[in-house]
Amino acid sequence: GKMKLLLPSVDPAQDEGSYTCTVTDSTVSSSGSLFLPIKYAPKFKAFEEQNAYPDNNESAKVACLFNGIPDSDPNGWMKNRNQLAQEGTKYTMTRQPNYKTGITAYRLQISDV
């Protein structure tokens, strides 16, 4: 049979997280888990640097981390208030949602600085 859990009005602060369903009979127990991401406006969490002080001709890598799973474009990076272009440039921009933690990383790699 099916087991259902109904959350009629979800709240990210209270309802987002890992849920486990367990079924037990007289001899055996079985369970399954999932992370329930709830789409909501992203909230800035942290700035992550990887090689943020590169030598000449190296690559720099930085990331902005947000709580939430926004589906926005990863090309939201700006330099001196100007939108960075990705195609045909030294900039590589990616969006990496983590459905287990509820954190989305917007990553920027700058080649040959």
Q: What is the pLDDT along the chain (113 residues), one digit of tens a residue?
A: 787 889 889 987 788 888 999 999 989 999 999 888 787 777 888 888 776 678 888 888 889 998 876 667 667 788 899 988 877 789 999 988 887 777 888 999 999 87
Q: Which residues, including other chains, have CB under 8 Å from residue 23's CB and lie 6 or more apart?
A: 3, 29, 30, 31
| pTM of the predicted protein model | 0.62
Q: Is 57 helix (H, G, I), strand (E, B) or coil?
A: coil
Question: CA neighbours within 13 Å on the CB side: how many for 17?
Answer: 9
